[in-house]
């Protein structure tokens, strides 16, 4: 569940009026809203459970259930699969965390929390950007947990620390672009369950029809062609190349293209929908 879900009276943070909101005003308002959301995480630490526990469950599940068989296909056994799947797990976290921003945003509407924002002289985009910023912090927590578990199960960075940091940055960039889609769902769907249901319909084909968990060479031709243009495959391949050595250019180019394209298309839609609804 997103950190934006509120169940107790909100902490008071004053946002000064700004009749003509400029860039500095937007930045100031965004910073105040980020602080507000972080205070909710502090008051409700259980909201971080998905970011902390989900990476542990997924990592252990795939490493120990599929590691032996797929690792043999990779030619190196269990250790080879650990090296293969961990970069993919980092990529997967970008979409799993992104879903939470949609469900939490929808619950904010249903609980009337956005009515408070409507009465404040702030830019509507500041509300959305603040939510994305906080979810990116949760994503970084999830990635940190994945890497801690990865080291325990035998993952080796092999000196690619710069590549590791670059893959985290690329994952955060792509995750922020996906969040705009879930923000649109959060504004337009009737309830959080609907957002979650539609989110799974989007997530499952993209995650499992990709190179995150297994090489795509043995897949049927139509599915293999799908994986070539699947942004999750591009992100996983790019992260794998950066962290373990290997080709990076195609995955990096495709991930950057998807990230920019999704943001350019979905961000204005999300802001417009939010403005019209609130």
Per-residue pLDDT at 182:
92
Q: Is the pLDDT of residue 14 over 60?
A: no
Terminus-to-terminus CA distance in the chain, angstroms? 22
- pLDDT of 87-135, one tens digit each? 999 999 998 888 888 888 888 777 777 667 666 667 667 888 888 999 9
Which pLDDT band holds residue 256 (cuts at 50, 70, 90)? very high
| pLDDT, mean of residues 65-84 | 84
Beta-carbon neighbour count of residue 197 at 10 Å?
12
Which pLDDT band holds residue 192 (cuts at 50, 70, 90)? confident
Token pair 């080291």 in the structure block, residue: 151
| pLDDT, mean of residues 225-237 | 93
Burial class (CB in 10 A: 0-12, 13-18, 19+), 221: exposed
> Rounded distance, CA 172 to CA 166, Å?
10
Q: Is the pLDDT of residue 55 over 80?
A: yes
What is the CB-side half-sphere exposure of residue 72 using CA atoms within 13 A? 4
Q: Name 143's Cβ contacts closer than 8 Å, sequence gap at least 6.
A: 55, 90, 93, 168, 171
| pLDDT, mean of residues 67-85 | 84
Mean pLDDT, the chain, as a whole number?
Answer: 83
DSSP 45: G
Both tokens assigned to 225: 């062609």
Per-residue pLDDT at 163:
92
Domain ranges (residues) in the chain: 23-277
Which pLDDT band holds residue 21 (cuts at 50, 70, 90)? low
> Rounded distance, CA 222 to CA 243, Å?
29
Percent of the chain with pLDDT over 70: 87
Per-residue pLDDT at 164:
93
Per-residue pLDDT at 174:
96
| pLDDT, mean of residues 136-151 | 92
């Amino acid at each position: 569940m997103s950190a934006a879900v509120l169940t107790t009276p909100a902490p008071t943070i004053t946002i000064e009026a700004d009749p003509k909101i400029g860039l500095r005003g937007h930045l100031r308002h965004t910073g105040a809203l980020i602080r507000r959301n972080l205070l909710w995480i502090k008051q409700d630490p259980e909201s971080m459970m998905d970011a902390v526990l989900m990476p542990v469950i997924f990592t252990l599940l795939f490493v120990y259930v599929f590691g032996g068989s797929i690792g043999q296909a990779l030619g190196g056994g269990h250790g080879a699969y650990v090296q293969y799947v961990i970069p993919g797990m980092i990529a997967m976290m970008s979409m799993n965390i992104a879903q939470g921003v949609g469900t939490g945003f929808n619950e904010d509407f249903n609980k009337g929390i956005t009515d408070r924002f409507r009465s404040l002289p702030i830019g509507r985009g500041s509300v959305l950007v603040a939510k994305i910023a906080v979810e990116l912090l949760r994503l970084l927590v999830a990635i940190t947990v994945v890497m801690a578990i990865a080291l325990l199960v035998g993952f080796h960075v092999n000196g690619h620390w710069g590549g590791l940091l670059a893959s985290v940055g690329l994952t955060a960039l792509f995750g922020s672009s996906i969040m705009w889609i879930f923000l649109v769902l959060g504004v337009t769907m009737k309830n959080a369950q609907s957002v979650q249901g539609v989110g799974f319909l989007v997530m499952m084909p993209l995650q499992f029809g990709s190179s995150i968990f297994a090489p795509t060479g043995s897949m049927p031709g139509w599915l293999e062609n799908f994986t070539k243009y699947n942004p999750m495959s591009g992100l996983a391949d790019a992260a794998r190349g950066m962290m373990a050595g290997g080709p990076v250019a195609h995955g990096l180019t495709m991930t950057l293209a998807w990230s920019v394209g999704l943001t350019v298309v979905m961000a204005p839609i999300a802001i417009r929908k939010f403005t019209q609804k609130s």
